[in-house]
Structure 1
Amino acid sequence: MDQLLAMRAFARVVEAGGFTRAADSLDVPLATVSKLVRELEAHLGVRLLQRTTRRVTVTPEGEDYYARSTRILRDLEDIDASFNLARGKPRGHLRIDVGGSTARDVLIPLLPDFVARFPDIRIDLGVSDRSVDLISDKVDCVIRGGPLESSSLVGRRLGEAALITCATPGYLKQYGTPAYPDELKNGHRLVSYVSSQNGRAVPFRFERNGEKTEIKVEHRVGVNESNAHLAACVAGLGIVQTFAYAAAPSLREGSLVEILERWRPAPYPFHVVYPQSRHVTHRLRVFVDWLLEVFPARLSEAQPPATPASSGTRPRRR
């Protein structure tokens, strides 16, 4: 038995949640992974995994062995990576997943610089707002907004993006400009961003002087992709809450107008995320380092300054 190979196979089964997904991510036959894990269990004299026709669960002994063995695997990978770094330029295939508007407005405009610096790295860019499984989808890293949800992942903070509320001038002329968040409940048409993960509409969030407000009303239109979500607003379908960097071109040209500026919610954090136990290749290391260098400024450069609320009577309501 190749014990190191068996340890890696077992760790991948635990991370992927099953033998089939582990075999796919390792690009080896399912029978090979099963054989390696059986041999490892025989060598140790304990059951590491409990198998049924529907699922695979980790035994208490398996959890202990996974925790210890992954530390060893990470140490070996760090040693390999340090020697690869010393040998020369990074090369190979890098698979990245990123949300729609973040790809269009932030990452892709920056990528020519990365490609020029590291011409031997080939990039596959997956663009969607759905959640991906880094192991089974064979992705090296993802760039996502929001708080980190899993302790099994390494997250490096890339900065923050302002969230703004906006609509077209035509919409505001027809329905009036709200001065307070609660006015959105009274006759306004909202275009909600719908989570592709759970199918729920993300509430509109507002904050001012420490006071936080959430608006949860039935939306007229729901969209589960960030570029299409903004396009629905530009088309005049209603009010959206979106990232300032995504709306910046439309704000500059006047096709969108920011509203409720004094009620902007807290900035939204962004991270680059990758599995703890995955071998951090030289190419992934340089990509993450590059992101940390260039991404924060691009993420925040389009953020408009908050403007004071206008004085006078409340806007016309329909």
Structure 2
Amino acid sequence: MDQLMAIRAFARVVEAGNFTRAADSLDMPNATLSKLVQELEAHLGVRLLQRTTRRVTVTPEGRDYYEKALRIVRDLEDIDSAFNTESGTPRGYLRVDIGGSTARDVLIPMLPDFVARFPEIRIDLGVSDRAVDLIGDNVDCVIRGGPLSDSSLVARHLGDAEMITCASPGYLKTYGVPAYPEELKNGHRMVSYVSSQTGRAFPFRYTVNGEKRELKIEHRIGINESNAHLVAAVAGLGIIQTFRYAAAADLKSGALVEILSDWRPVRYPFHVVYPQNRHLTQRLRLFIEWLREVFPTRLNG
């Protein structure tokens, strides 16, 4: 038995929650991974995982072994990273997940700089507004906006984005330009951004005399993807709240017009997030450092 490989296989099953996703992340057949775990259990003389047709759960012995063995795996990765640093250029794959408009308007325009600095680091970019399972989906880090609710994740602040309220000139000609937030309740059509996780629409937010306010208005249309949400406003379907960076080109061309600028909501925080129990590889550390260097400039551009 290759004990180190068996330990790595077992650890990935624990982190991924099932054998299939663990095997995919290690680029090995499911049968090979299953055999490695079985050999490890036989070697230790204990059952580490409880398998059923639907799910895999970790036994108390398995949880204890995972926590102890993980330190060994991390120590070996630290050694490997140290030698890689000394021997030459950082290399390997990074899996990054990011929302649609943030990918289009912030990250992707900056990526040529990262590629030029670290040509041997390859990035698989998942672009979606849905919430991802960092462990189960084997994602190295996620770039997301909004408040953080999962205390099991490590977050690094990347900056704060300005939010605006806007609509198309055609819409404003038909329905009029609201003079203050409460006027949105009087016959205006709202296009809400809907959470892909909860299915709930985000309320329209404003700052009134320094106080944060939320305006809950029944929307005509709800959309759960940021690029489509913006296009709906350009098409004249209604009023939206979005990030200034996302609407910048349409504001410049006149396809969208900002309204209610005196009541802009507070700035929206962005973070890069990664799991606590995942080793911070050299390539991930370099990527996070680069993000913190360049992201705020583009976020506010």
1:188 aligned residue: 188
The verdict on how the C-alpha distance between 1:179 and 1:69 changes in structure 2, with shifts beyond 3 A counting, is farther
Following superposition, the deviation at residue 230 of structure 1 comes to 0.7
2:121 corresponds in structure 1 to 121
Unaligned runs of 5+ in 1: 302-318
Per-residue deviation at 1:99? 1.3
Distance 1:258 1:187 in 2: 19
Partner SS, residue 166 of structure 2:
strand
CA offset digits 1:71-111 (Å, max 9, x no partner): 33223222221221111112333332221111111111111
Alignment of 1:120-269 (within 5 A): 120-269=120-269
Alignment match, 2:95: 95
Deviations 1:185-210 (A, max 9, x none): 22110011122223322222223345
Does the C-alpha gap of structure 1 residues 141 and 255 become closer, same or farther in structure 2, counting only changes over 3 Å? same
Asked if structure 1 preserves the Cα contact closer than 8 Å seen for 2:191 and 2:237, the reply is yes
2-structure distance, mates of 1:150, 1:66: 22
Deviation by residue 1:208-258 (Cα, 9 ceiling, x = unmatched): 345332223321122221111111111111100101111122223333222
- Superposition pairs of residues 23-38 of structure 1, within 5 angstroms: 23-38=23-38
Report the equivalent of 1:46. Answer: 46
Looking at structure 2, the residues matched to 78 and 247 of structure 1 have their Cα atoms a distance apart, in angstroms, of 43
- Closer/same/farther in 2, CA of residues 22 and 250 from structure 1, 3 Å limit: same
* Ranges in structure 2 where 5+ consecutive residues have no aligned partner: none
| Contact 1:169–1:256 (8 Å) recurs in 2 | yes
1:150-178 CA-to-partner distances (Å, cap 9, x unmatched) read: 34433222111112111123322322222
Query: Taking structure 1 as reference, are residues 147 and 128 closer, same or farther at Cα in structure 2, changes over 3 Å only?
Result: same
The Cα shift of 1:138 comes to 4.2
Q: Provide TM-score, normalisation by structure 2.
A: 0.90
What residue number does 1:299 align with? 299
Q: Which amino acid aligns with 2:164?
A: I
Number of residue pairs aligned between Structure 1 and Structure 2: 301
Question: Where does residue 313 of structure 1 map in the other structure?
Answer: none
Equivalent-residue separation in structure 2 for 1:150 and 1:82 (angstroms): 31
Q: Report the Cα offset of residue 279 of structure 1.
A: 4.3
Aligned-partner Cα distance in 2 for 1:105–1:126: 15
Provide the residue aligned with 1:315 in structure 2.
none
Which residue in the other structure is 2:70 paired with? Answer: 70
2:104 corresponds to: 104
Residue number in structure 1 paired with 2:274: 274
Supply the AA of the counterpart residue of 1:250: D
TM-score by length of 1: 0.85
Alpha carbons 2:15, 2:136 under 8 Å: kept: no
Letter in structure 1 aligned against 2:63: E
Q: 1:23, 1:29 within 8 Å by CA — same for their partners in 2?
A: yes
> Aligned with 2:160: secondary structure?
strand
Letter in 2 for 1:169: P
| CA distance 1:92–1:75, shift in 2 (3 Å) | closer
Query: Does the 8 Å contact 1:92/1:121 carry over to 2?
Result: yes
Give 1:17's aligned amino acid: G
Q: Percent identity?
A: 76
Q: Is the 8 A contact 2:157 2:271 kept in 1?
A: yes
Which residue in the other structure is 1:310 paired with? none
Q: Distance in 2 between matches of 1:79 and 1:86?
A: 11
Letter of the 2:100 partner, please give it: G
Counterpart Cα distance in 2 of 1:160 and 1:129: 18
Deviates more, 1:240-249 or 1:153-162: 153-162
Partners in 2 of 1:128 and 1:61 — Cα distance?
A: 37
1:126-158 CA-to-partner distances (Å, cap 9, x unmatched) read 322222333454433322212334344332221
Query: Structure 1 residues 28-37 or 237-246, which shifts more?
Result: 28-37
Partner Cα distance (1:198, 1:172) in 2: 31
Q: State the alpha-carbon separation in 1 of the partners of residues 183 and 44 from structure 2.
A: 66
CA contact (8 A) 1:234 1:255 kept: yes
Residue 28 of structure 2 aligns to a residue whose secondary structure is: coil
